[in-house]
Amino acid sequence: MERLDFNGFGGVNLAATAFGSADNPPVLLLPSLGQVRQLWFGTAAALAEAGRYAICVDLRGHGDSDQSPDGHYEFDAYIGDLRAILAAMPNRAVVVSAGIGARVAMAAVGEGAPHLVSGLALIDANIWVEKAVVDRLGGAMALRSSIFDDPTKIVDAVAAAYPSEPRPTLTDRMMAAYAKRDDGQYEWRGDPRVLAASNLPDMEERLTAAASRIAAPVTLIRGSLNETVSNEVMEKLKALIPGSEVAEIDGAGHYAASDREDDFNAILIDFLERQAPRAPLTFIAGSEPRILRDALGCFATGVTIVTTMNADNEPIGLTANSFTSVSLDPPLILFSLAKTSANLETFEKAGKFAVNVNHIGQQPAAGKFASRGVTRFDGVDWALREAGGSPILAGSLASFDCTTHAVHDGGDHLIFIGHVNYASFEPHRDPLLYFRGKFRRLHFA
Ligand SMILES: Cc1cc2nc3c(=O)[nH]c(=O)nc-3n(C[C@H](O)[C@H](O)[C@H](O)COP(=O)(O)O)c2cc1C
């Protein structure tokens, strides 16, 4: 068991616990709204036994994850978090998610990034949520704002909200969502602002479109006694998601994954063995680009922050590991910039850029300069070496101040070749490295 952190949308830190070896194919377990990652620990341990790398993560504003400082709990913030986590995975993951987590996964994958996952297991996924169900789930969520003097009363309250479902079992994992206060009372550990924004209604059109575009293998799992997601909903969803399959857990309600954990694990592991087998992945030209990315990720690199000035004379920059030396005489270097970069035009117009090679202490900056929705230069010490130069980040391991020498087309990237006007380096620091999708540091035997 290893405690991990992910840098979510807008820089919100997301707490996670991983089970098993990081060399195994990853499975990401996402709770539903109101739940915490501990609910998945039993399944994660079983997955680790079955040769998977299982990662349980807390949603923003839940458990040990950060609260969003500006109250961003809208649907798209959760999607941004999921995409950020998946992008940071060493390999393509299967995502397992329940309830609203399942809606988030469907949207994240269906809306333009189907290659991000190698499979989806969705528990109690629903698109067509009726008003009565919305009210009911709203009521169940409101329980989270109640204070309880006894843990069994938490279970009583859940059981009362779902009267014809089996009574949930009181476990430490369930209680992980609650904190015991000094006065002995129990209260839900999350950000209360989460409760106001569950986005259940009004999403039919968006989720229908997203679900129909999912290209990964999908299993739709439901407890047979679930009161809020019917069999008809499952069949409708199955018809919508190409090649999806349905599985039912007999005698389970909406806590199926924890109440009938063994049954659930068996269904999940069977799905993984069939649809996301543990065989080594091979890229063949024209096939899945993520596999090529994973293969390329075996080449360890340093990490840089590439900068320039925009037309308003403000610094801009992004994290890049595509930096390469090209020529000593003339002094040339290159980096490649995705054509999707928000800064493409700025780099093209500026005619100059600087490459700042990161040392290990700059890992937070490297994370920040790869995130969207943050003010990247906030709190960063930078200066121009000369008027007309590009931003040099203080303390960088090395900095190369360049005039753009040439820009070449490179498929979905542009290759910027820079003529180095000025280079400096810091001989007493260790480099920040990047390998298999993770920041690393030098390890001397
Ligand atoms: C370690 C690492 C290396 C990266 N290397 C590159 C790169 O070489 N080129 C690139 O275009 N994006 C690269 N990225 C992704 C960008 O930093 C990221 O997409 C950023 O949000 C782009 O910002 P922009 O659209 O504001 O330019 C890298 C990200 C990380 C974490």
* Arithmetic mean of pLDDT, 318-334: 98
* Arithmetic mean of pLDDT, 67-92: 91
The residue among 404 and 155 whose pLDDT is bigger is 404
Res 369: pLDDT: 97
Domain ranges of the chain: 2-129+199-288, 297-441
Chain segment 345-379, per-residue pLDDT in tens: 999 999 999 999 999 999 999 999 999 989 999 99
Res 280: pLDDT: 63
Least confident of 14-18, 251-255, 278-282, 331-335: 278-282
> Would the pLDDT of 417 be above 60?
yes
Chain segment 86-109, per-residue pLDDT in tens: 988 878 899 999 988 999 999 999
* Ligand 1 contacts CB of residue 27 (under 6 A): no
pLDDT tier, 445 (very low <50, low <70, confident <90, very high otherwise): low
Cα angle, residue 313 at apex, residues 309 and 319 outer, rounded to 5°: 30
Res 291: pLDDT: 80
Label residue 297 exposed, middle or buried (CB < 10 Å: 0-12, 13-18, 19+). middle
> Would the pLDDT of 283 be above 80?
no
Q: How far is the CA of 406 from the centre of ligand 1 (A)?
A: 20
The number of beta carbons lying within 10 Å of the beta carbon of residue 129 is 20
* Ligand 1 contacts CB of residue 320 (under 6 A): yes
* Arithmetic mean of pLDDT, 238-262: 87
Percent of the chain with pLDDT over 70: 95
Residue 63 to residue 179: CA distance in whole angstroms: 10
What CATH number matches the domain at 2-129+199-288, 3.40.190.10, 3.40.50.1820, 3.30.360.10, 3.90.1010.10? 3.40.50.1820
Chain segment 115-169, per-residue pLDDT in tens: 789 999 999 898 887 777 767 666 667 777 778 888 888 888 878 877 777 787 8
> Would the pLDDT of 270 be above 90?
yes
Res 423: pLDDT: 98
CATH code for the domain defined by 297-441: 2.30.110.10
User: How much is the mean pLDDT over the chain?
Assistant: 90
| Residue count of the chain | 445
Q: Whose CA is nearest to atom 14 of ligand 1?
A: 320
The number of beta carbons lying within 10 Å of the beta carbon of residue 258 is 21
**Would residue 305 be called left, alpha or beta, if left means φ above 0 and alpha means ψ between -120 and 50 degrees?**
beta
Res 420: pLDDT: 98
In Å, how far from its chain's centre is CA 120?
14
pLDDT tier, 6 (very low <50, low <70, confident <90, very high otherwise): very high
Q: How many CA atoms lie within 13 A of 122 on its CB side?
A: 33
Contacts of 163 (CB under 8 A, 6+ apart): none
Task: Name the β-bridge partners of 121.
Answer: 96, 219
Q: Which two tokens stand for residue 274?
A: 């069939």
* Ligand 1 contacts CB of residue 306 (under 6 A): no
pLDDT tier, 260 (very low <50, low <70, confident <90, very high otherwise): confident
* Arithmetic mean of pLDDT, 275-300: 81
Q: Which of 321, 358, 362 to mutate to test the pocket of ligand 1 (most atoms within 8 A of CB)?
A: 321
Q: Which of 153-167, 176-190, 325-339, 430-444 has the highest mean pLDDT?
A: 325-339
Res 281: pLDDT: 64
* Ligand 1 contacts CB of residue 107 (under 6 A): no
> Would the pLDDT of 433 be above 80?
yes
* Ligand 1 contacts CB of residue 336 (under 6 A): yes
* Ligand 1 contacts CB of residue 434 (under 6 A): yes
Which atom of ligand 1 lies nearest, measured to the CA of 303?
Answer: 1
* Ligand 1 contacts CB of residue 363 (under 6 A): no
> Would the pLDDT of 197 be above 70?
no
Res 199: pLDDT: 57
Q: Which of 89, 337, 340, 341 to mutate to test the pocket of ligand 1 (most atoms within 8 A of CB)?
A: 341
> Would the pLDDT of 175 be above 90?
no
Phi, psi of 106 (to 5 degrees): -60, -45
pLDDT tier, 287 (very low <50, low <70, confident <90, very high otherwise): confident
